[in-house]
Structure 1
Amino acid sequence: MKPLVIPVVEEKFSLEKLNYFNPKSIFDADWSLDLHGYLTRDEFDTRLAEINHAIRNVPLLSKRIRTFTDWSYGITTSVMTFIFLGGLFTGGFRTGPIVSFVLEVLFSLGYIAIRLLVTKLTERRAKEFTDALNVLFKQYNYQDNPTANWKLAWRPVISHINIKMKSTSIGNVGGKATPKYASQAEIILEISDSLSDLTAKTVHFKLPPQVIREMTISTY
């Protein structure tokens, strides 16, 4: 079987790029040639439209949501720390450092709670997304097997890189960069070897530039 892959992408236009909880996700690709007896370009476009319609009401969380929560927590913690240290060194409001310390603890607990909620919501959305596509792919495979087989797969991709820097008392500076991963949904269409050989192995998907950029930062 020859596997062909279409990764899901988030539409990033206008305010959509700020919608971390309900981003509009789509599968976008073009069929390379008309496979008469299996799929023509128009028939493939129809199927892709059906797939995108099936996932319209089961949005995934944005891969950027963890970056957003981490940055929000980091900025808030930095502000609270600045207020706390300012109160200690200036000797001003005596309750200032205590209040800022309490707020920092509360923000830390809130951050942990939000991360847990995001994790649970991510898992629930992924299951709903998978179930919706599996129902549709079951119909496709009933028609297409053994010529072709449709399935959904998840694989890790780099969502962002966490960089930590530190310095020593003698002036040495060091740090490390840690990649953070998220799961990405991909459609895998497996074409039978006989059909692939018949087309001189030229059957493939034409992916738009946005999809290609997404794939260049992903990893298995």
Structure 2
Amino acid sequence: MTGVQALERKYPDKLSLPGMCAKAEFEYIRHGTTSLIGFFDVAKGTLYAPYLDETRTEEDFCNAVRSTIETDPEGEWVFVCDGLTTHKSESLVKLVAEVCDLKTPLGVKGKCGILQNKKTREEFLHDPEHRIRFAYTPKHSSWMNQIEIWFGITNRKLLKRSSYSSVAELKESILRFIEQYNLTAHPFKWTYKGIPLAI
């Protein structure tokens, strides 16, 4: 969830008569942005090891994946991601090779081997033989990833009408929301049946 803005409403909302909605201030002051990298546990309906930072670089994503894996270092992990370049990076390949203790030569980025290009890195990261692997949603289908539903809930229930005087206040609010959400979380009832793709 990138570019989450810390917006402070310029004036307070105007209260209205009972039974009517309050009038929300539309002018705001910008205080910066943050990005949330989160991993949604589909079986439990909870968010794992949220990672908040001003950027969403290859390094940020690897740090987020590493901190999530550290919650169960010996477990098997399947991360569902869209096709973003940071989700198929050189750093991610090296992380998976390190954590899974794979001795396969990785090659050189842009020249040869597993690191050669995005496609070769994706094949390595998607390998079902690995204890830690990545599954990628088809192009323009990130909505199939259930965390997108969770991002929508966060936007509607927390961010839409809130007012923050700093990025630190925004981050604190997001982390508090995640903690409270996880207390009563349950799996989404996923109703998409799927249509076989013609290849």
TM-score above 0.5:
no
Q: Which has the higher helix share?
A: 1
TM-score (norm 2): 0.25
Structure with greater strand percent: 1
Relative to the length of structure 1, the TM-score reads 0.23
Bigger-Rg structure (1/2): 1
Higher relative contact order (CA 8 A, sep 6+): 1
